[in-house]
Amino acid sequence: MISWINGEFVELWQTNQKFFVLINCQGLGYEIQILESFFIKLKTNQIPNKKITLWIKHIKKEESDLLFGFTSKDQKNFFTEILSVRGVGSQIGMGLLNKLSISEVINAIKTQNKKLICSVPGIGQKMSDRLILELKSKFKSKIQFEKEGKDELEINDNEINKMIDDLQLTLQSLNYKNKEIKTILPIIIQKVDILDKKEKNLSFENLLKLAMNYLDMDNSNLAR
């Protein structure tokens, strides 16, 4: 069983709505299906030096082994939980995470927003009912984390909310602690709230740099 892979980027390709990366790990080439958001970052050279670490969900089938890669353990675990729902396959799980952020999925389950879940290709009314019913109890802890982290500073902009979710997952993948991330998220959200996206060049990269500066500055102060 493969849990994670660290290796060098070789190439990217897309087949319909599936996104793949080829990674060279100690002389072996691993074909891994990834989320569209990470595919875009690789394609647009947003990943420095193309040294990649991915958390892997390994699915064995009769004729093949399938590898699904995620930039954080939380993403992988979330994907695994989705697959635990009866009748939900890997492509539905990837489609759900390509279309919606983790917090959007959790909130849709919490509020029973069937319309949003049904907006994902391949998910109909019956499957959305099943997802909501079976996942609601499993995601209670994550729902609580989202509430504690962002309740008082919610932003009514889906694009920016997705940036914040991606930021949280990226920081986790860079081995910052959840406690540290929860401390600086309100600061970042406040900064976002006063920035104009066009004039101030608001982007995921700028938010990541800002967050890492705060985190590294706090860690530096603790070390003194």
Written as tens digits, the pLDDT of the chain (224 aa) is 788 899 999 999 999 989 999 999 989 999 999 999 899 988 888 777 778 889 999 998 877 889 999 988 888 988 998 998 888 899 999 999 998 888 888 888 888 889 999 999 889 999 999 888 888 777 654 444 444 444 444 455 566 777 777 788 788 777 788 878 888 877 777 766 555 544 455 677 778 888 888 887 655 554 44
**Predicted pLDDT of residue 102:** 83
4 SS3 class: strand
Q: Which two tokens stand for residue 40?
A: 């875009």
Find, among 83, 223, 105, the residue nearest to 161 by Cα. 105
Alpha helix ranges (H) inside 84-203: 90-99, 102-110, 114-118, 125-135, 140-150, 158-173, 178-194
User: Rounded distance, CA 92 to CA 28, Å?
Assistant: 28
**Predicted pLDDT of residue 18:** 94
Q: 């995601």: which residue's tokens? A: 139
**Predicted pLDDT of residue 2:** 82
pTM score: 0.63
Opening angle at CA 38, ends 204 and 124, nearest 5: 105
Own/partner contacts of 3-7, CB < 8 Å, gap of 24 or more, are: 3/55, 3/56, 4/53, 4/54, 4/55, 4/56, 5/30, 5/32, 5/52, 5/53, 5/54, 5/56, 5/67, 5/69, 6/51, 6/52, 6/53, 7/51, 7/52
